[in-house]
Structure 1
Amino acid sequence: MRIALLSGGNGWHVRDLQRAATTRGHQSTVVDFEKLSAAVVIGAKPFSEFDAIIVRTMPAGSLEQVVFRMDLLHQAQDRGLCVLNPPRALETCIDKYLASAKLEFAGLLVPPTIVCQTAEDALAAFEQLGGDVVVKPLFGAEGRGMMRISDRELAWRTFRTLERTGSVLYLQKFIAHPGWDLRVFVLDGRVLAGMKRFSLNDWRTNVAQGGRVEAIEVEPPLTRTAIAAAQTCSAVASGVDLLLGPDGRWYVIEVNAVPGWRALAPATGIDVASSIIECLEQRLR
C-alpha cells in the first residue's frame, strides 16, 4: 500500500505513522498540503500515485486555498482512494458550529451554544448563557484561542475586537467540571482507547495546554456516546472529548478529526499508529 501523509511537516505523529507503515510493509510519503496542485484533464486523478491518504493537518489559508484543498480530497475519494479522515468529516469537525449543530440534532448532549456575528448579539448571548461562557474560534484546535469570560465589560471589549477582525463569535455556556475530562479515541466504529485529562492550573484540560493524563477503561454508556458522536461527524478516526457536568450528565465537547495520540499511546500502551494503518488495510481489501 502506498500512503500519502498530508502534513505541514515531519512532526512526531507523521514519524510515528511512517514507522507503523514501514513495520507493516507499506510505503509512506509526506506530502505538504500547501504544495498541492491539480490538473483537470481527461483521466486525471489527484494523488494517482497513492492508494490511501492520511490527513494530519488542515493548515490555515484563504477561503480559496481551504476550499481547493478540500476539493482535492473529495476528488481523490470519489476516484477510489481511501481518505482518512473523509473530507466530509474534516469539513464538519473543523467547523465548530456545524459539528455542534449536528451533534445536537443527533440527540447528543452538547453545552448550550450561541453563534453570532455582531458584538451586540454576542453580549445578549453572554447574558442568556448565564454570564459565564467559553469563547472559541470557529476554526481551531488544541485549545488555542479559547477564552473563559465571566465579566460583562471584558466580554463586551472582547466581542468588539472579534467583530472588528471579521470573526464569527462562538459562545458556549461554561460547564463546571471536576478538573478533568475524557478523550476517547474512536477508530472505525469502535473505541480504541481512552484517557482522563487533568487540568493544570487552568480550567482547560487539553494536553497541548499542559494537562496530565491517565489511561481509563471506557464504560459502555460512554462508549456508545463516543461512537455516536464520531459517526454523526462522519469520522473514521477521531478524538471525542467528553465532560462530566455538575448535573451528572456527560457533554460532548468536541469531535477532533485530526486527533493526536502522543500522550494517549504511552498512557494506554496501545500502538495507535499501527491501528490506523491496519484500519486502512481493512478498508482497501
Structure 2
Amino acid sequence: MKGYIYYSKEESVRNYKFIEDLISQAVIIDIELQLIVDEEQPNPDADFILFRDRNPEKAKSFEQQGFRVINRAEVNRIANDKWLTYELAILLGIPTVPTKLVTMVEDLSQYPIVLKTVDGHGGTEVELCKDSFEASKFITAHKLRKIIAQPYIETSAQDVRVFVIGEEVFGAVKRTGNGSFKSNYTLGGSIEKYTLSSWQEKEAITIARALKSDYIGIDFLLLPDGRWLLNEIEDPVGARSLYATHDVSVAERLVNFIKIRFSSY
C-alpha cells in the first residue's frame, strides 16, 4: 500500500514526532507513507491520504481527484464547525450543551455566557463573558465570523476527551483547567487517564458511527453529578495527552487500522 500524510507546513513542523512515528510504523506493515504539505500534490497511484488539517475544502478536493481521505471531508466539515456538531448531537439524541447562533449582543439575555467562533480550536476564540460589555467586545472582534453562545456550565473546568479509531474507543483522558474554565492540555491544564462507563463508550461510538469517521477525538464536559455533555469533535485530533497517560502508540494503531480497512479495496 502507498499513502500520504497531509499537513499544513506550519503544523507539520509542530507535529514532526508524530509524523516520524507514523512513517516508521507504516514501514513495519509494508505501507509506503510520505508527507506532503500545503500545495504539494500526491501521486495518482496513492491508496489513501491521511488528512491532518482543518480544511474541509482541501479534503474535498482530494476526494474529487479520486483519493480515499482519512477522515473524509464531511467529517472534517462537521468536526470543525461547532454549530454543525451541535446539530448532529441533537439529531442523535446525545446530551449536549445548549447552543445558539448569535450576530449581536441583543441576541443574549443571560450572563455569564460562553461565546465561541464556530471554527476556533485549541481553546482559542472562546470567551466567558460576564456582561453585555464583554460580549459586545467579543462579537465586534469576530464580526466576520459565525459565533455561537452557550450558557456557562459549572464543571470545575473538567472535561473528557475520548479517542476513537473506526468504531472502537481506544483511550480517554480527563482534563482539568489550570486557573481557567478551559481544560485544554495545550493551555496548561492537567491530565489523567479516564475509564469510560459502558454508557459513555456507547455514546462516543454512536457519534463515530454516525460520522463514519476513521480517527477522531470527542470532547465531553464532565458535570459534578456524573453526567456529561458533548462539547466538541476534533478532526484532526492531537494525541499528546493520550501519549502522556497511556502506554499506547496511536501511530501504530492508526496505520494498522488503515491497513485492515483499505487493503480489501
Structure 2 residue aligned with 1:108: 94
Contact (CA 8 Å) 1:82, 1:283: kept in 2 or not?
no
* Aligned-partner Cα distance in 2 for 1:143–1:85: 22
Name the amino acid aligned to 1:241: D
2:136 to 156, 168, 171: 156
Name the amino acid aligned to 2:231: I
Contact (CA 8 Å) 2:100, 2:149: kept in 1 or not?
yes
TM superposition shift of 1:147: 1.1
Name the amino acid aligned to 1:180: Q
Confirm or deny that 1:24 pairs with 2:6. no
Contact (CA 8 Å) 2:166, 2:208: kept in 1 or not?
no
TM superposition shift of 1:36: 4.3
Q: Which moved more, 1:105-114 or 1:81-90?
A: 81-90
Structure 2 residue aligned with 1:73: 62
User: Equivalent pairs: percent with the same residue?
Assistant: 22
Confirm or deny that 1:4 pairs with 2:4. yes
What SS does structure 1 have at the residue aligned with 2:44? coil
* Aligned-partner Cα distance in 2 for 1:16–1:137: 33
What SS does structure 1 have at the residue aligned with 2:61? helix
TM superposition shift of 1:247: 5.5
Structure 1 residue aligned with 2:245: 267
Give the TM-score normalised by structure 2: 0.90
* Aligned-partner Cα distance in 2 for 1:115–1:36: 36
CA 1:246 to 1:196, structure 2 compared with 1: closer, same or farther past 3 Å? closer
Matches within 5 A, 1:78-93: 79=66, 81-93=67-79
TM superposition shift of 1:246: 4.6
TM superposition shift of 1:91: 1.1
CA RMSD of aligned residues (A): 1.9
Structure 1 residue aligned with 2:81: 95
Q: Which moved more, 1:226-235 or 1:266-275?
A: 226-235
Confirm or deny that 1:222 pairs with 2:226. no
Cα shift readout 1:91-129 (whole Å, capped 9, x = no counterpart): 11111111111111211111111113x32xxx24431xx
Contact (CA 8 Å) 2:49, 2:69: kept in 1 or not?
yes
Contact (CA 8 Å) 1:180, 1:198: kept in 2 or not?
yes
Contact (CA 8 Å) 1:134, 1:148: kept in 2 or not?
yes
Structure 2 residue aligned with 1:41: none
Structure 2 residue aligned with 1:62: none
Contact (CA 8 Å) 2:59, 2:72: kept in 1 or not?
no
- List, as ranges, runs of 4+ consecutive aligned residues in structure 1 with deviation greater than 3 Å: none
Contact (CA 8 Å) 1:194, 1:264: kept in 2 or not?
yes
Matches within 5 A, 1:244-259: 244-246=222-224, 248-259=226-237
Q: Show structure 2 runs of 5+ residues with no match.
A: none
Cα shift readout 1:119-170 (whole Å, capped 9, x = no counterpart): 2xxx24431xx3122211211221122111122221123223322xx12221
TM superposition shift of 1:193: 0.7
Contact (CA 8 Å) 1:7, 1:56: kept in 2 or not?
yes
Structure 1 residue aligned with 2:51: 55
TM superposition shift of 1:15: 2.2
* Aligned-partner Cα distance in 2 for 1:25–1:115: 47
Cα shift readout 1:216-241 (whole Å, capped 9, x = no counterpart): 22211110111112233332211011
Confirm or deny that 1:240 pairs with 2:218. yes
In the alignment of these two chains, the number of paired residues is 258
Contact (CA 8 Å) 1:135, 1:147: kept in 2 or not?
yes
Structure 1 residue aligned with 2:108: 126
Confirm or deny that 1:141 pairs with 2:146. no
Name the amino acid aligned to 2:34: T
* Aligned-partner Cα distance in 1 for 2:170–2:46: 26
What SS does structure 1 have at the residue aligned with 2:89? helix
Give the TM-score normalised by structure 1: 0.84
Name the amino acid aligned to 2:203: T
Q: Show structure 1 runs of 5+ residues with no match.
A: 38-45, 60-65
What SS does structure 1 have at the residue aligned with 2:205? helix
What SS does structure 1 have at the residue aligned with 2:240? coil
